[in-house]
Amino acid sequence: MHAASTTRFGAMVATIALTLGAVWVPGAASAAPQKPTPVKTVWLCKPGLARNPCTGDLDTLVVPAVGRSIVRPITVAKNPPVDCFYAYPTVSQQPGLNADLTIEANEINVAYSQAGPFSQVCRVFAPMYRQVTVHGLFGLTGPQVQSSLDISYNSLLSGFKAFLAQEPKGRRFVVLGHSQGAAMLIRLVKSQIDPNPALRSRLLSALIIGGNLTVKKGGKVGGAFSHIPLCSSGHQLGCAIAYSAFSQSEPPTPDSFFGIPGQGVSLMWGQTSRSPSLEVACTSPAAFSKGFARLNPRWPDRTHAGVGYFTYPTLYRGQCASDHGARYLEVAEEPSTSYPASVHPNDRPLVQSLGAQWGLHMDDVNIAQGDLVAFVARQVFFLRNHR
């Protein structure tokens, strides 16, 4: 069996910042953020690096419901017109409250898993940033929380400014992040891109996964962002895709860390309001309309030589749903009538729910990664043909 759980940067992603809801009292006093000291950017992924986890083998093993698997050749894009800026989730196991900028195995593995496939449509840039560590998330209390989150944000902001400094003027870009990375990106987009018409015009899309991006209830904009709307179609530019995934068999509950404003991962980007006028955004990356649509998942493949990833293109379907005050991507297996387990000879990936508080958080990106990459590809195609 494809042990997908062994390729998803280990169990550490399951420890993401959501203990904040238990240890941080919103509104607790904290010192004013200090002006960050400029430091040299350390790049986890960047064009030209000798060891770049975002430009590995992209060939993908396609496992059908029944029958022989095939390998789909995929190559890193040559001279794509856009770049992708990636912020990875909580993976650092360093002993401090905030990580240093040392590149370790967890960062390499998660970049390969989540950001690598995007290199077929864009140049991927990923700075190391001083994220709050797993230890920090469980060990912080009171004012320490905001101080460490500010360190994390200011470090990512420094990396984003370094990214912009080497970008050709006017070049379009995508921002992509998951969990703590998504929360830091919400804060970054909110302060740096959304209010800046010049930068906003360069933003192709914001893929903010598992970060509790907020919008006005029933709307496309008006929560975290004032100008950047949720994507409404598969070819829209300058919009955001956001969701957190939960299994249909185990939907979120009122104490869930994802899908509900003012709690869980929301606290990482400073969102504490539980106003009924707000909701957490959900955009189905497979279909920008109501109802289930088949998802195109992708996971790293460590089993087959010469293959970078594998996919089960007929196994999962998803739709945006609401339950217990949460807004989320509901994921279900295809009905047995169309995907009969009794005649299915191929192994299925291990996609595990972490319970009603966490859902499918470990698989948020991978469960629809093919759809996310295809969306950016359509945006790139539009740019190339409408200049």
- pLDDT at residue 5, as a whole number: 36
30 in a domain, yes or no?
A: no
Q: Contacts for 304-308 with beta carbons within 8 Å, 24 or more apart?
A: 304/61, 306/57, 306/59, 306/71, 307/57, 307/59, 307/60, 307/61, 307/71, 308/56, 308/57, 308/58, 308/59, 308/60, 308/74, 308/116
Per-residue pLDDT of 52-63, as tens digits, reads 999 999 999 998
User: What is the rounded average pLDDT of the residues 334-343?
Assistant: 55
Structural domain span for residue 205: 4-25+38-385
**Closest Cα to residue 110, out of 170, 56, 38?**
56
Give the pLDDT confidence of 119-137 residue by residue, as tens digits.
Answer: 999 999 999 999 999 988 8
State the pLDDT confidence band at 310, using cuts at 50, 70 and 90.
Answer: very high
pLDDT confidence of residue 334: 76
Q: Say if pTM beats, i.e. exceeds, 0.85.
A: yes
Q: Indicate the burial class of 343 (C-beta count within 10 angstroms; 0-12, 13-18, 19 or more).
A: exposed
pLDDT at 246: 95
- On the question of pLDDT at 347 being above 70, the answer is no
pLDDT(298) > 60: yes
Q: Is the predicted pLDDT of residue 33 greater than 60, yes or no?
A: no
Q: Could you tell me if residue 103 is inside a domain?
A: yes
pLDDT at 338: 55
Give the pLDDT confidence of 214-250 residue by residue, as tens digits.
999 999 999 999 999 999 988 899 999 999 999 998 9
317 occurs within a structural domain: yes
Residue 33 lies in a domain: no
Which helix (H) or strand (E) segment holds residue 172: the answer is strand 172-178
Q: Provide the pLDDT for residue 336.
A: 54
**Enclosing H/E stretch for 205:** strand 203-209
- Domain count of the chain? 1
How confident is residue 66, by pLDDT bands cut at 50, 70 and 90? confident
User: Residue 303's pLDDT is what?
Assistant: 83
- The mean predicted confidence, pLDDT, of the chain is 86
- Closest by Cα among 128, 126, 125, 115 to 300: 115
Is the pLDDT at 211 greater than 60, yes or no?
yes
Please write the tens of the pLDDT for every residue from 163-207: 999 887 889 999 999 999 999 999 999 999 999 999 999 999 999
**DSSP labels, 361-376:** GGGTTGGGHHHHHHHH
Predicted confidence (pLDDT) per residue in 248-296, tens digit: 989 999 999 999 999 999 999 999 999 999 999 999 999 887 789 999 9
pLDDT of residue 357: 93
Instruction: Report the percent of the chain where pLDDT is more than 90.
Output: 70
Q: Which pLDDT band, with edges at 50, 70 and 90, does 41 fall under?
A: very high
Tell me the mean pLDDT in the region 307-335: 91
217 in any annotated domain: yes
Phi, psi of 99 (to 5 degrees): -70, 155
Check: CB of residue 265 under 8 Å from CB of residue 338: no
Please tell me the predicted confidence (pLDDT) of residue 32: 44
Is pLDDT above 60 for 21? no
32 inside domain: no
Contact partners, residue 344, CB within 8 Å, separation at least 6: 65, 66
What percent of the chain has a predicted confidence (pLDDT) above 70? 84
For the residues 86-112, what does the mean pLDDT come to? 97
**Which pLDDT band holds residue 387 (cuts at 50, 70, 90)?**
low
Flag whether 117 is in a domain.
yes
Q: Specify if 31 maps to a domain.
A: no
**Residue 90's pLDDT band (boundaries 50, 70, 90)?**
very high
